[in-house]
Structure 1
Amino acid sequence: MTGTPTGAESPGERDCDDAGLDRTSAAPDRDEREQVREALAAAARQSGFGLVTPGERPTAHALWAAVGGVRGLLESLLPGFLFLIVFTITGEVAPSVLIPAAVAVLFVVVRAVTRSPILPAVVGLVGIALSAGLALITGRAEENFVLGFVINAVWLVALLVSLVARRPLVGVIAGLLTGDHDWRGDPAKRAVLTVTTWLWVGMFALRLGVQVPLYLSSQAAALAATKLIMGVPLYAALLWVTWLMVRAVYARRAA
C-alpha cells in the first residue's frame, strides 16, 4: 500500500500552495502597476493636452489655460522679447541675457508674494539662468539658445522612439486620460493618434531645422525672433489641431 509519508505534502497541496503564492505575489504587482498608471495619468492631466479630455469639445478658454493665461504668456515671451530688443540696440551679450534673467527673478517674487504656484516661474528662471550663464562664459549671444535646442531634441527623440515602439506618445497620453488602454486595437484611433504624434515630431524638427542654422551662422537676433514665433504661437496652434483630431475620432467611436 502506497501513500504520502507523514509530514510530506501531496502534489495537489503543493499546487494549491504555489497558486496561492502566485496570487499573493501577483496582487502587489497589479497594485504597483495601477499606482504607476495613476501617477502617469495625473501627469497627463497636468499637461496642456490634458486640459481637454479626448472626445470633449475644445474651447478657447482651455487653449488660453494651456498657454498659461496672461501671466504664462508674459513669463514665456517677455524674456525672449527683451533679449531681442536689448541685443538689437546694444549688440552686447551681458545686458542682453542679464535683463531677461532679472525679469525672471521678478516673476518668481511676484508668484511668491501672491501665493500662486511658484514652480512654473522657478523652472523658467533656472532655464534662463543656465542659458545666460553659458552665453556669459563663452561671450557668444547665440549660446543663450543652446538649452532650447537640447529640450527640443529630447522631445523629438522621445516622440520618434514612441512611434518606433508602435506606441505613439499622443495615444499613450489619450489612453491615460480616458482609461482607454485598448486604443491600439482600434484602427481609426491608432491612425489618428499616430498622425498627431507625427505632427508634434514635425514641430520640434522644424524648430531645430530653422534655428540651428541661424545658431551656426551666429545670427543671434534672427534666432531670438524665430524662437518667439515658433514658441508659444506654434505650440498653441498645434495643440488646437491635436485636440480637434483626437476629439473627432473619440466622439465618433462613442456615438
Structure 2
Amino acid sequence: MTMDLRPRQEQDAVTAPVPVATPEPATTQPPASPGAAILAQLGGWQGFLYTNIPAIVFSVANAWFPLLTTTAVALASAVALAVYRLAVRKEKVLAASGGIIGVAIAGAITVWTGSPRDFFLVGIWAALVATVALVVSLVARRPLTGLAWSWFHGRRYAWRDDRRTLRAHDVATGFAAVVFAGRFAVNQTLYLADATGWLAVAKVVTGMPLTAVMALVVVWAFRRSTKRLIKGR
C-alpha cells in the first residue's frame, strides 16, 4: 500500500469535482401573430408577388405581341423569378421552380387553344374542383379541415365525436368553400367575357388576400381542436 505524500492542498485540487459551466437560459422570442405566421408560410408579400407577376406580364405583353411571343415572355419572367429565388433568396428548388411549372402548363394550353384567356383556365378550374371537394366533405359530415387536422395528429383522436370540434371544422371548411366558389365565379365570369386583362387583376384580388383570411379561419379550427381533444380544455 502506497501513501500519497503530496501536500494536502494538491490532493484536494485533484479530488475536487470539476466545475461545469451552467448554460445561460435561452432568450425566448415572443410568438408571432397568427397573421404573420400564415403570411410567412405563404412566402410573405414577396411570395405573393412571385405568384402573380407572370400573369401580369402575360396580360401586358398580350396587348403588344403575338400569342406565342406573349407566352414566351411570361415563361421567361417565371424563369427569371426562379433564378432570383434560388441564387439570391436561397429558397428550396421545389418552392422556387413551382412557378415555372404552373406557367409552362398554362402557356401550353394557351398556345394549343390559341386563346389568351386560356392562360388562366387552370386556376379557374382548380377553384371549381376545390369548391366541389369541400362541399362534398361537408355533406358527408367529414369536413376536409378536420380530416387534415386528424391526419397531422396521426388519426389518434375521435374528432367527429366531439360536437364543438366538428362544428368548428364545418365552419372552416364552409368558409373555404365560399372563398373558392367566389374565386371561381368571378374568374369564370371574366373568362366568358374574354377579359384577359381583368383576369390578371382578379387573380391578384382573389388570390393571396382571401387565402390569408381563409387560412386564419382554418388555424382557428385547428387550435380549437387541439385545445379540446389534446389539452382537454
- What range describes the TM-score normalised by the shorter chain of this pair? 0.7 to 0.9
1:63-97 deviation digits (Å, cap 9, x = unpaired): 2222112542232121122233333x527534443
Q: Which has the higher helix share?
A: 1
**Residue 97, structure 1, aligned to residue 71, structure 2:** yes
1:191-235 CA distance string (max 9 Å, x none) = 110111011111111111111121112111111111111011110
Q: Return the TM-score normalized by structure 2.
A: 0.74
Residue 226 of structure 1 corresponds to which residue in structure 2?
A: 202
Larger radius of gyration: 2
Q: 1:99-128 deviations in whole A, cap 9, x for unaligned?
A: 221111123333444553111232221111
* Equivalent AA in structure 1 for residue 81 of structure 2: F
Listed as ranges, the matches of 1:140-179 within 5 Å are 140-179=115-154
Q: Deviations over 1:138-190 (max 9, x none)?
A: 32110101111222222223222322332111001112234552110000000
Contact in 1 for aligned 2:191/2:199 (Cα 8 Å):
yes
8 Å contact 2:54–2:77 — kept in the other structure? Answer: yes
Cross-structure match for 2:83: 109
Partner SS, residue 122 of structure 1: helix
Ranges in structure 2 where 5+ consecutive residues have no aligned partner: 1-30
Contact persistence 1:159–1:197 (CA under 8 A): yes
Q: 1:64 is paired with a residue of what secondary structure?
A: helix
Aligned positions of 1:16-165 closer than 5 A: 59-87=34-62, 89-90=63-64, 92-113=66-87, 115-165=90-140
Equivalent position SS for 2:96: helix
In structure 2, C-alpha distance between the alignment counterparts of 1:70 and 1:238, rounded to whole Å: 16
- Once the two structures are aligned, what percentage of the paired residues are identical? 30
Q: Partner letter of residue 242 of structure 1?
A: V
TM-score normalised by L of structure 1: 0.69
Q: Is the 8 A contact 2:134 2:173 kept in 1?
A: yes
The reply to whether residue 204 of structure 1 matches residue 180 of structure 2 is yes
Number of corresponding residues: 199
- CA distance in structure 1 between the aligned counterparts of 2:105 and 2:165, rounded to whole angstroms: 40
Answer whether contact 1:57 1:247 (CA < 8 A) is retained. Answer: no
Larger RCO, structures 1/2 (Cα 8 Å, 6+ apart): 1
Contact 2:78 2:100 in 1 (8 A): yes
Matching residue's letter, 1:90: W
One-letter amino acid of the structure 1 residue matched with residue 71 of structure 2: V
